[in-house]
Amino acid sequence: MSLLNEALSKIQPLDPALIAQTQAKLDNKTKPLGSLGRLEEFACRYAAISGSLEPPTWKKVIFTFAADHGVVAEGVSAFPKEVTVQMVYNFLAGGAGVNVLAKHVRAEVLVVDIGVDHDFGDTPGLIGRKIARGTRNLAQGPAMAREEAIAALEVGIELANGCKSEGIAMVGTGEMGIGNTTPSSAIIAAFTGRPVAGLTHRGTGINDASLAHKVRVIEQALAVNRPDPADPIDVLAKVGGLEIAGIAGLVLGCAANRIPVVVDGFISTAGALVASELCPTVKEYLFAAHRSVEIGHAVMLERLGAEPILDLQMRLGEGTGAALAMGLIEAGVKILKEMATFEEAGVAEGEY
């Protein structure tokens, strides 16, 4: 059995009884019922995913997948493709936004070269899983062969399987790839059939004329490739990206291994969306970190049925939102595990 099919076969719905048991435990803490709001929701779902009323949280990892995109040749980004390589070295040196915020919540950043158009050699700290040196230009034809898309999915699954064996408690998604908001908009347009203009934003900060051009490029990509929304791998291969595929695989693998997965912004959610189209049950294992200012992100979240944890007007990517949300999820779990009960504290229960 392939890694992909094996992962899909292992994903099971969460046990509602365990969610109810967790809520009952929270309800006995020294507080009015439900007074910690969404922190209680996080704790309940985290416990159900982990399968324990005393779930671990301390070992946290953010995978930042890096890949290049052939569609950059169409002039859809404000930055040249060389920035992808430069940022990979910045991640490895600890100088990027995700490094700072991950350190803040005591999470480790692991950088994965899944498709950068550069020979990194034996660069210390880099996880080398290159499927190709970037995608092809999706405006002219398929971004990837179907086999490449599946191979990239299985990179993510393999990494999730490794997390299980290493006792990782919580996983975050991140990405780096100049031009990758273009395939992300194409993916949500392919799945929903909505007009591209209502799903496409400025990415790295392009002007109005460039935004209009970007919309036309995505419309051309959809017309040329005709991705089949009933076949998520077809959508991924034709108009996706290698880092998006890696994230999709990571989400599937985490769900298969009962590991909570915190999904970052627009590009990461494109990966989560592909995963959920392949297996709708993965939605139960996801925490949507934040609402990006990319206009297509709200539509993605709606399709996933996911309520974002934060709305900070962010659009950096890398896993920055995931890092921040991890801290809040962990806070909810610590309430579950560490807050005193009425009996332990000698506090009288009221009729709240």
Q: Quick check: is 338 catalytic?
A: no
Which one-letter amino acid corresponds to residue 1?
A: M
SS (H, E, C) the chain: CCHHHHHHHHCCCCCHHHHHHHHHHHHCECCCCCCCHHHHHHHHHHHHHHCCCCCCCCCEEEEEEEECCHHHHHCCCCCCCHHHHHHHHHHHHCCCHHHHHHHHCCEEEEEEEEECCCCCCCCCCEEECCCCCCCCCCCCCCCCCHHHHHHHHHHHHHHHHHHHHHCCCEEEEEEECCCCHHHHHHHHHHHHCCCHHHCCCCCCCCCHHHHHHHHHHHHHHHHHHCCCCCCHHHHHHHHCCHHHHHHHHHHHHHHHCCCCEEECCHHHHHHHHHHHHHCHHHHHHEEECECCCCHHHHHHHHHHCCCCCECCCCCCCCCHHHHHHHHHHHHHHHHHHHCCEHHHHCCCCCCC
CA distance 256 to 245: 16
Tokens of 208: 């109005």
User: Quick one: 273 exposed, middle or buried, by C-beta within 10 A (0-12, 13-18, 19+)?
Assistant: buried
Give me the residue label for tokens 């506090």.
347
Greatest Cα pair distance in the chain = 70
CA distance 352 to 350: 6
Single out the catalytic residue among 40, 294, 318, 330: 318
Tokens of 44: 């309940």
Give me the residue label for tokens 């929701």.
41
**Residue count (the chain):** 352
Residues acting as catalytic residues: 318
